[in-house]
Structure formats: C-alpha cells, structure tokens
Amino acid sequence: MPAALSETNIVETNIVETHAIALYGEPKYPDGFEHFDWVKPDAPKGGQLRLMGFGTFDSTNPYTLKGTSPFNTPGMFMYGFSELNETLMLGTGSYSPSADEAQTAYGLLAERLRYTEDFSWVEYDIRQNAFFHDGHPVDADDVVFSFNTLIEKGHPRFQQSLLDVHSVEKRSSHTVRFNLKDGAGKQAVFRTGEVPVLPQHFWQEKDFESASSVVPLLSGPYKIVEVDTGSRITLERVPTFWGNELNVYKGRYNFDTISMDFYRDQAVAFEAFKSDEFDIFYDYTAKNWAEGYDFPAINAGDIIKEQIPHSIPSGTQGFFFNTRKALFKDKRVRQAISELFDFEWINASLFHKAYTRNTSYFPNSQYAHQGKPSAEELALLEPFRTQLPPELFSGPFEFSPSKGDGNIRNKMRKAIKLLRDAGWEQDQGVLRNKQTGQAFKFEFIYRQAGLERVIMPFIKNMQRLGITAKPRLVENAQYKARLDQFDFDVMTFVLSQGTAPSYEQRDYFHSELINVEGGQNYAGIQNPAVDALIETLLNSKTEQQVVTTMRALDRVLMFEHYIVPNWHIGIHRVAHWNRFSRAKDALPYKLGTENWWLKTTQQNSKYNTKDKAKDN
C-alpha cells in the first residue's frame, strides 16, 4: 500500500501554480472570480426541499463496498444534495460537477494548487478557514488519512481512480503533496482533487469498513440531522458553514432543509408526488410522461411539467452478458440474442417513440464512433486486426432494424444462423448444444419492476427459438451484492459516463478487473485490444487523442456484443411543484437543483404536505 509519508528528491522547476485546472485549454473563470454564471448570487435562503429516492439504503457511508448509501441509489446523484464529503477541488468528480465546463476544476477545500509540468507531483494549500461541522479545522493530516483509508478500506474504485498516485505526504499543517508515478498525466491531477476529505479525528477510532450506521461528520453546506435507515434521510443547512461566501458556493444550496424519502415503486412514488408528498419527480418512464399528467394540480398550474435539454453524455445502458459463464463466451451467441431484442416495436408500443437506440457505449457524446475508422483510429486498431471482427474495419456498428410491428422474422433467421454456427440447434422446441445436449437457459435479473414490460417481449422472442430465460425481480441490496460478486447470467445496468473519460473506463472494461469484487467489469471483458486502448486513453495528452482512442474503443466494445444496448434521451423529464425559482432554465451538464430557491412569497411559510403554493 502507498506510504502515508515519503520524502522525495525532486528538482522543483517548471511548476504551475493556479486557482483552477482545465484538462484542455484554460479555465473559464479567472482567479478571483465572484461566482459562477449559472447561479443567482443573492438567491434567498430558506424553506424546505423534499426529494424522492428510489429503492432503499442500508448505509450512510458512500465510500465502502459494503452496503448502499443514499447517494448510491439510482438517480439520486441528479439532485446535487448528498452525504458526500467535500473535496479539494470542485467541478469534476461526484461531489459537485460543473454545470457549464466539461473538464475543469476549481479550488474548494484547496485555495491553490501547484503541480510540475511533467506531473510528477501536485500540491494543495488547504484553506485556513475550512472547518468540519464540529469546529475541527480541515488540514493536511485529514487528506493523508483520507487517501490511505480509501485505498486500504474503501471501495475498489478508489484503487483504480488513484492508480497513478505513489504516495501522499504532509508538507505543512495545511499543505499536502500527492507524489505521482512515472508517466502519470494531467488526468491524475484531477483524480487527486476529487478525493473526499474525511475527518481523521472522527474516523480513526471507528471501523470504517463496517460503519454503515455511523452518521458521518461533514464539512459542507449541510449536515445530516435525521436517518431512518432505508426510508428517509434529512439534511439541514449549517448557518455557520465556513464556505458561505466562497465563490464556488455563492447562490447555491439555498434550502434550509433537504429531506429525501425513498420509494421502492415508481408508480407509488408518482401518486405520492401528485399528493404533494415531495416536490420534484424526475420521470424515467416514457408512458407515464406521455399519459400520466392529466390531474387537477397540473391543470391548475400548481405543478410544472417540463422537458429540459442538456448535453450530458448518456450512460452505457444495456442488458449485460456475464461472459464468465460458458454460455456467453461465444460472441455469436451474444449477437444472436441481441438480434431478438425488438427495440423498434418497444419504442413505438411502450415508449411513445421517445427514445433513440444506442449504437455506442458513449451515446450523446463526441466519443461515439462514426462512419469508417479514421486513419488515427486504424493506427490503434491494426495491431489487433486478426483478433477483431473484420466488419469493425469497414464501417460503423449498425443494428438490423425491424418495422416496429412485432414481426422480426429476418432478425430471427439471422439469430438462428449465428446460433447454429456456434453449435446450437433446436430439438423438439428446445435449443440445445449439439455436443453436450445442454439446454440453452439462463436467469435474467433486474431491480425495477417497470422494466418487466420491456424484458418480457424480449424473453418471448427468445422462447420462439427454444431459449429459456427466467426473469427475476431482485430487491436492491441483493442486486448490489450479486453484481459485486458477478453472480448473474444476464442483468440490466447503466455505467455512468462523463465528459472527461478516464480511469473509470479501466474499472468498466479492463481485464485486470474481471474478478475484483465490487469492480464494474460486469461483462467479464478479457480483450487485449480493449486493454491496450484503455492504456492509450490514460496516457493521452490532447483532447483529440482522447476522442480518437475512445471512438476506437467504442468500435471494439460494440462489435464484440458484450451487452444488448438499450436507448437514451437528451432531455431531463421533470415535474415539480410550482414553488421554486432558478437562475437559468437549462444547464449543459447538470439539472442544477442545488441552485434553485424557494420563491420569495414562500420564504416564511412552513408548508406541509398538503400545501398547494401558487406562483405569485
């Protein structure tokens, strides 16, 4: 494990000192800027915001493999309020991503940062006025403790994101240095700034890995004041918060109280929203969005329904094959099953034609491959030509679409041929392996009841070829446990993607992560071309190199059929009670709920769950 302290003998030349860092180009906001453009700096403070969480949680520690914390439940990251600790920098990472810059971070707990131009180390000067909620100052000891704790006891993702950090050392009470490994790039600097800073004095006597019920001590705008495990968590704004006047916080986090109530069923949650049990409903269901909003509060203008455009890269959403299982090791088998997913019929019949089919692992982004491989892409792919599908080199990945009428005979014929070529044949209505006689059957797990209407038509198409797929709805805690241990045949998931791809791609797709418990190489990918492209990505020096490498990686992943790609949409579908204001209607890279405020007429009213406050 990396040492807590290490002496380095580095010639300190060509050092950059700055308030912010951009992966490419220069930061938008200059040193000493007053506030971000997308906030109202004098937004009124006060009132309550009531949010809906999906599923359940059994921990308040978001940084360990064990359990699920509120932030790690589906969709909760969208709202901007959480139990996360503050970080050294703000703008990238999970804590508070930027609304208008793709790859730029500004000082948060850190007032300044310094780094060498060869990225051999990076130093942070911690703000002298930064304090945890118990009054203890945030200092370099906390950063060193946080790094070592997260590497040794935290979720495996920290070992991946901080892979290029050799050691961390305290340089003074409020200065800390991350020593980086040879060959580390600028992206490694960003990852150090994203380390959540934990209070050493609070955690050092506690069992960090098992502290699921410990209410964490934070340093940010809110403290946790109530936890009903699995059902509810309440945050309260700290009036004496150290960062109230900090430029990156001005006009933000305006509500006095944030409550999050958790629902296991989206339909039940929607009825609760209609009854004013919470304030915002982020609608993931196309049918509900199209048909569910004819009720008195909408018609009276008490609820606003809006589609907010954004430029957020969509996640890698699909049905994941577990290629660790012998059944799915053959690419032809995976491709055959993919052919049986009739997206066109589902989109027309169930989704009101709201979605676009994913033909990329990185939809709605510049990293999705296009047309034939460029010369630069070919230079990356050619060393693996004999190991890759020939069609990858001749054009983009495309599905053979259906007419959307439920008739997929052509797709079924293609699937039958692929299965025959892979050694499978029908025997009295059952698909069996020609050599072993094994019947083709597997379990398909999912955790959202609403997906059943999508999965069942897919399964029926498989049944027509003699494949037995058993659907199983799994509750959230068990679902997480099974994915952590790769205990599934086929499952549904979304891998988060961002504007600056980096070490997370290694966690998702690199062969070294295939058997790391809690890792996210769910498909079990072991592909030399994928490994090499990820290493090239992590060593890329320019934005164009990143784009080229990601597009080449996208081609390999798509043509290997590790997942059945799903769909995406480039808007937020949001309904909310008409009691809030915001500075801008649409932000490129986030919903921005943490920048909203209660309308002035509501500031002194403690509305209950039956209030129907109108816009005055």
pLDDT digits (tens, 9 = 90+) for 38-51: 999 999 999 999 99
- Cα(336)–Cα(411) distance, rounded to whole angstroms? 9
For the cut 60, the answer to whether the pLDDT of residue 444 exceeds it is yes
Structure confidence at residue 602 (pLDDT): 55
pLDDT digits (tens, 9 = 90+) for 296-333: 999 999 999 999 999 999 999 999 999 999 999 999 99
Q: Classify residue 227 by burial, with Cβ atoms within 10 Å: 0-12, 13-18, 19+.
A: middle
**Residue 294: both structure tokens together:** 């004819």
Whether the Cβ atoms of residue 261 and residue 232 lie closer than 8 Å to each other: yes
For the cut 60, the answer to whether the pLDDT of residue 83 exceeds it is yes
Q: Classify residue 291 by burial, with Cβ atoms within 10 Å: 0-12, 13-18, 19+.
A: exposed
* Mean pLDDT, residues 437-449: 96
pLDDT digits (tens, 9 = 90+) for 140-165: 999 999 999 999 999 999 999 999 99
387: how many CB neighbours lie within 10 A of its CB? Answer: 10
Q: Which of 563, 575, 50 lies closest to 322 in space, CA to CA?
A: 563
- Cα(446)–Cα(467) distance, rounded to whole angstroms? 19
* Mean pLDDT, residues 9-29: 84
For the cut 70, the answer to whether the pLDDT of residue 67 exceeds it is yes
Angle at which helix 528-538 crosses helix 543-559, to 10 degrees, equals 160
Give the list of residues 6+ apart from residue 351 with CB closer than 8 angstroms, or none: 286, 287, 567
- Cα(223)–Cα(546) distance, rounded to whole angstroms? 39
Structure confidence at residue 1 (pLDDT): 40
110: how many CB neighbours lie within 10 A of its CB? Answer: 28
Structure confidence at residue 609 (pLDDT): 39
pTM over 0.75: yes
Structure confidence at residue 550 (pLDDT): 98
606 confidence band (pLDDT: 50, 70, 90): very low
Structure confidence at residue 60 (pLDDT): 96
Structure confidence at residue 227 (pLDDT): 97
pLDDT digits (tens, 9 = 90+) for 502-522: 999 999 999 999 999 999 999
Alpha carbon distances (Å) from 108 to 29, 130, 616: 14, 9, 37
* Mean pLDDT, residues 421-442: 97
**Residue 229: both structure tokens together:** 């495990």
Structure confidence at residue 601 (pLDDT): 59
Q: Which of 546, 536, 27, 596 lies closest to 313 in space, CA to CA?
A: 546
For the cut 80, the answer to whether the pLDDT of residue 226 exceeds it is yes
Which domains are seen in the chain, by residue range? 37-85+220-312+570-610 (3.40.190.10), 86-214 (3.90.76.10), 316-568 (3.10.105.10)
The mean of the pLDDT values for the chain is 93
Q: Which of 556, 560, 555, 602 lies closest to 577 in space, CA to CA?
A: 602
Q: Which of 462, 376, 402 lies closest to 426 in space, CA to CA?
A: 462
